[in-house]
Structure 1
Amino acid sequence: MQVSGIAGNAPADLRVAVDIKHPNRGDLILRLVAPDGTAYLLEDIPNADTGDDVFASYEVNGSAEKANGSWRLRVSDTVAGNAGTIDGWSLSLASVPAAVPGTRFENTDDVPTVDNGIAESTVSITGVAGAVPAGLRVGVTLRHPQRGDLVLHLVAPDGTVYLLEDVPDGDAGDHVRTTYWVDASAETANGSWALQARDTVSGNSGGVIDAWSIQFGAE
C-alpha cells in the first residue's frame, strides 16, 4: 500500500485493520512491513484456533518509521494444505494529519448511526480518469457514545467492501477522527462510494457521521 503526502514519521498508534478468509486461521502469522523493510508482528495465531476468518484491528508503534512509502501486509501460512484469501486491509494514521491536499471529494451532511444497524453516507465521484490509486485516503469524522460498537467499511461503486476499522469492543471513546489508507487500485474511480458504519451492539443511540472524504493522492 503506497502512502504519500504525510509529513514526518508514522504515529505511535498506527492501526492496521485486516480482513482475511482462511479455513484454518491457526496456520497464520500476520506482520506489517514498513517501507524500510522492518517487520512488525501483528499476531501469531495459536495453532489450535480453527476459525475460518481474521477480522481484526491491531495497533503498532510505527513512530520509528517514515510515514511515506510502500507498506505491506505479510501473511505467513505455516502449515501445508489450506489456502486462503486476503480480502482487504487498511492503515490508520490517526495521529498524523495530511500534509498536502490532493483531489478530494467529501460529504459533510450529518447521517445518524443506527443502533445495532447500518448507516451509510455516500460521495459521488466524477471527472477522475482511470482507476483509483493504491494509496486511497479516506478521512472519517464520526461521533458515537461507544465507538467500540462500530465497524467501518468503505464500499466501492461496484459493491466491493473494504474494511477500514473494526474498533475494539472495549474502546469507550465517543468519536472517530481518523484517516485510513486503502488499496482500492482494482476499482474505477468514478461512481458512488459509501462510508458504512455498522453498529454491532444494541443500547447506544445518538451517533452521527459528521463528515467523511475520499482523497486521491497528493497534488
Structure 2
Amino acid sequence: MKLSKELIDLQHRLGHQFARPVLLLQAVTHSSMSSPGREDNQRLEFLGDRVLGLVMAEALLAEDAKATEGQLAPRFNALVRKEMCAEIARQADIGAALKLGRSEMLSGGRRKTALLGDAMEAVIAAVYLDAGFDTARDLILRLWGNRIRNVKEDARDAKTSLQEWAQARGMKPPSYEQRARSGPDHAPVFTIAAVLENGAEAEATAGSKRIAEQAAAKALLEHLEQGGTD
C-alpha cells in the first residue's frame, strides 16, 4: 500500500515505520470518511485506550515506588484523559493527517479535542498491532515525555474537583444537563450545563458529552473561585 505524503510525514514524526501501513490509515480515518472499503478508527481507539492505560500504570509505579493508590489514581487520570491525548496529538500534528468528511473538515475537525484524542489512541493501537507492546510502550513514553514525571499529585479532572467542592459544603454532587444538541449524527455537538444544588451553573459546548461536561465543570469552578454563588 502506498501512503500519502501526510501519512509518510506522520510516520517520521511518530518515529515508527509501519510494516502494515493500512493500520495507520485506519487510525486517522474518522467515521465521517468510513465506507464499505475503508474502516474508521473507532475499534482502534477502544484498543489504544487500554494499551495507553497499561503503559501509564506501569510508568507511574516505576516513577514513584512509594506512592499510594490514592496518589497514583489522579496522576493516572490526568495522563490518559482525552484532553491529554489531544495535546499529544497536536504535538505530533496528527490533525494534518486526519481523513475527514467534508462537513467535519469545514467545522474545524482537525482541531477538535475529541477527534484528536480519539486519533491519538487509535494510533497507539495501530503501533501495537503493527509491532507489539514494547514498541507501543516506547512510542507512548517518548511522546508523553516529562509529563509522566511532572504530573501533579492533585491532578484531578474538573468534574472530580467540582464534586469535591460541593461535598465539602454539604451539597449533593453536581448534575449535568444536556441543554442542546446540533450537527449531523456522525459529528454531533452537545451543550451541557453543570448545575449545583444551590443553583449555580455554567454551560459548555463540545463534540462529545464527556468533554462538554468537563468544560462545564471547569467553567463553573472558575466562576465559583471568582466569587460566584457559594
Instruction: Decide which structure has the larger Cα Rg and report it.
Output: 2
After TM superposition, the score normalised by the length of structure 2 is 0.24
Greater RCO (Cα-Cα under 8 Å, separation 6 or more) = 1
Whichever structure has more helix as a proportion of its residues is: 2
After TM superposition, the score normalised by the length of structure 1 is 0.25
